[in-house]
Structure 1
């Protein structure tokens, strides 16, 4: 497994990061409830298989159900072998308001303590704001709170999870955050415009949604009628699937890793077969410049429509 440095943090991570949401709660196409998920022993076995295969970077969150607890049980005897990133609870209240400084500090510290307890560790390598919108990124208390946690040794680096290009740009320009986790894939390539700026600022880039919640795999067929244009556009990438690129998911993974500014890519994994597929994609030959350039030209023309949370709410992914 090839490794890359996570921005200016000094932390080295595997190119493949294990996305932990699927082992913690029902998530993804065709997953409707606990009956469609791995049992805890099966999930622990999967995490061990990942580490045994060279994966060192694991992503989770306080809001990912049992994910942190399962990782804690899996890694309590392997803590030195893994880099763990987790995200704190959402900061906005039921009315969408941000609490004041003292309450913010309490929420964040309580969330971190809960994560440390569940993960059975006394530190996390990357501690992130979950869904950091523009208002949250403008808050003047948050940098100080996270800096204090870093100084105390409870976290090794700070990070934010963003959605929009505007959020990512604000996070980079602030000079506050060590790592940014952002959405990027074959269909939605908007964030690539900021990769060079992130590298100049020493900010580590971690990509999520690289498989577009499974749509850039064999699952991305016979979709809801509302997504017919999306499905038709996905099929345009099939022309790039030829040796040494065996399938669409491999193309998606290698395309994201073709950007040197990217430190690691998150792939949601809830089956041993999916782990093996992701490993084969990452450990195989790098994408040729010609294929990468062709893929860049095939980005979806209306990326604003690629709103997965909205699709979920509409029931288009079930």
Structure 2
């Protein structure tokens, strides 16, 4: 069972694998600390996720080792994957830095292509620092992504933002929006509906409130929304992912 990725013509699984934890364990908001897996564990996990039928892998330069580990572990299975990464934020030596300049974004995209071992990125999102409107209005971020899309290096572009105002503004140009949405936080509900009306895909982040909400009820709630394309779920426990996958396949839109 797949869902159409807005107007892109692509289809994705209802759950996407969020690849944060395979690459970074510093400066995190999860309630329980964790050790980074080794290379063999990462390869086993990612290949098993693909074998389940999960086609969407979401990563970012801000996720530490994540992009390189994805390229190493499943680069040979590129044809099976919808790859989603981001620009604007990087993480190194325990610190996040933001750069939405033309040069910064071009360098970020070139680095992501190299690490992911690909010449094409299916989805690229602006990784907001929180100042959504300032990024959209005062930086060349959108223009640079559009240039790479026109060149055929990127398939779909969009924004992973923090605010309703930013997401609403991004509807004017985005193919995909990533928004926070869960049982405890429905502030983006109207944006999700507006995106659906414009045939803009929605990826939901923090659908389990960073592990604070029960998985089964949360997954059914998020995937039951008519405008949601895919729920991004991370984790290092394959059994948990398999159970979440089962729930997702049983979930139905109204």
**Same fold flag (TM > 0.5):** yes
Q: TM-score, normalised by structure 1?
A: 0.73
Partner of 1:113: 110
CA distance in 1 between counterparts of 2:216 and 2:191 reads 24
- Give the structure 2 partner of residue 17 of structure 1: 16
Helix, strand or coil at the partner of 1:210: coil
The answer on whether the counterparts of 2:58 and 2:85 sit within 8 Å (CA) in structure 1 is: yes
Structure 2 portions without partners, runs of 5+: none
Pairs within 5 Å for 1:108-187: 108-131=105-128, 133-139=132-138, 141-172=140-171, 175-187=172-184
1:125 counterpart SS class: strand
Which 10-residue stretch deviates more, 207-216 or 192-201? 192-201
Q: Indicate conservation of the 8 Å contact 2:179/2:203, yes or no.
A: yes
**TM-superposition CA deviations, 1:253-281 (whole Å, max 9, x none):** 01000012111000112111221121121
> In the alignment, is the contact (CA less than 8 A) between 2:89 and 2:98 conserved in 1?
no
Q: Give CA deviations for 1:23-44 in whole Å, capped at 9, x if unaligned.
A: 1111422225xxx222121111
User: Is 1:46 matched up with 2:48?
Assistant: no
Q: Cα offset for 1:285?
A: 4.6
Alpha-carbon RMSD across the aligned residues, in angstroms, is 2.0
Structure 1: gaps of 5 or more residues: 217-247, 290-318
Structure 2 counterpart of 1:262: 228
Partners of 1:215 and 1:98 in 2: CA distance:
31
Asked if residue 201 in structure 1 is aligned to residue 203 in structure 2, the reply is no
> Quick check: which has more Rg, 1 or 2?
1
Asked if 2 retains the 8 angstrom alpha-carbon contact of 1:31 and 1:37, the reply is: no
User: Which whole-Å CA distance do the structure 2 matches of 1:85 and 1:135 have between them?
Assistant: 23
Report Cα offsets for 1:188-242 as digits up to 9, x if no partner. 01111222211122211100000111001xxxxxxxxxxxxxxxxxxxxxxxxxx
Give the one of 225, 233, 251 matched to 2:217.
Answer: 251
The structural deviation recorded for 1:55 is: 0.1
The answer to whether residue 192 in structure 2 is matched with residue 190 in structure 1 is no
TM superposition score normalised by structure 2: 0.90
Contact conserved, 1:23 with 1:43, CA < 8 A, in 2? Answer: yes
Aligned to 1:31: 33
Matched, 1:283 2:249: yes
Q: Counting strand residues as a fraction of each chain, which structure ranks higher?
A: 2
Q: How many residues align?
A: 244
Contact residue 126 and residue 141 of structure 2 kept, 8 A: no
Q: Residue deviations 1:154-173, cap 9 Å, x none? A: 1111111011212111111x
Displacement after TM superposition at 1:139 (Å): 3.1
Separation in 2, partners of 1:98, 1:43 = 29
Q: 1:77 deviation in Å? A: 1.3
